[in-house]
Amino acid sequence: MAGAIGRRHGRGIVRVGIDGVDGAGKTHLADELAELLGYRGVRTVRASVDGFHRPARERHRRGRHSPEGFFLDSYDYPAMRRLLLDPLGPGGDRRIVRAIHDVHREVAVDAAVEVVAEPAVLLVDGIFLHRDELADAWDLSVWLDVPFEVSIPRGAARGYGEPDPAAPANHRYVQGQRLYLAACRPRERATFVVDNTDFDPPSISARPQARRG
């Protein structure tokens, strides 16, 4: 993957989305790619969909335990397009904002505007990145394929929820992800599919004709 991204380097900005369920290893992979690309002299910009959470009153308007609310209301995709992705796309002004909301403190973020010099690679990690609202924004994208039986215990080991995917505390998240998988088919849309069930070694397959729309 680093090689494929590097080969596009020099063509302006390359926008890369790294998608997967919670606990799939998205942040780890994005950071690892940034490090590998840095060794090759490639400038990278890191961001996460988590910087574009909606306020709690909007995220939970269908109820705190609603899977539909998790899938439909978690993130402000228009703001993410306007402030992060589109400015780095064709004809964009290269002026970006990486975050608008701190979900841990539930406060708005007054982030500084940054100007991204070309060439560079934007690496964005997060869930739901192959939604219709975002799918055409990626020059390359990754789907980390990990079953809930593996991803949920991983998240629990980091202090997020219960290790049993069937636990009531996980209902909102697991069922919300199932809605996403059924509606958006990220495995079909991604440029690369990585079986990340085992970190060492992961299995990678390329889908150069992946469907974006």
Paired tokens of 162: 């219960």
* DSSP symbol at 116: P
Report if residue 106 sits inside a domain.
yes
CATH of the domain at 77: 3.40.50.300
Q: How far apart are CA 87 and CA 79, in angstroms?
A: 11
Report if residue 115 sits inside a domain.
yes
Pairing verdict, β 95-96 and 101-102: unpaired
Report if residue 211 sits inside a domain.
no
Domain range for residue 177? 2-206
Report if residue 121 sits inside a domain.
yes
Report if residue 212 sits inside a domain.
no
> Which pLDDT does position 203 carry in this prediction?
67
> Which pLDDT does position 211 carry in this prediction?
47
Whether the full predicted model's pTM is greater than 0.85, yes or no, is yes
* Total number of domains constituting the chain: 1
Report if residue 213 sits inside a domain.
no
Report if residue 118 sits inside a domain.
yes
> Which pLDDT does position 15 carry in this prediction?
98
> For the chain, which ranges sit under pLDDT 70?
201-204, 206-213
Report if residue 160 sits inside a domain.
yes
Residue found under tokens 């009531």: 168
> Which pLDDT does position 213 carry in this prediction?
47
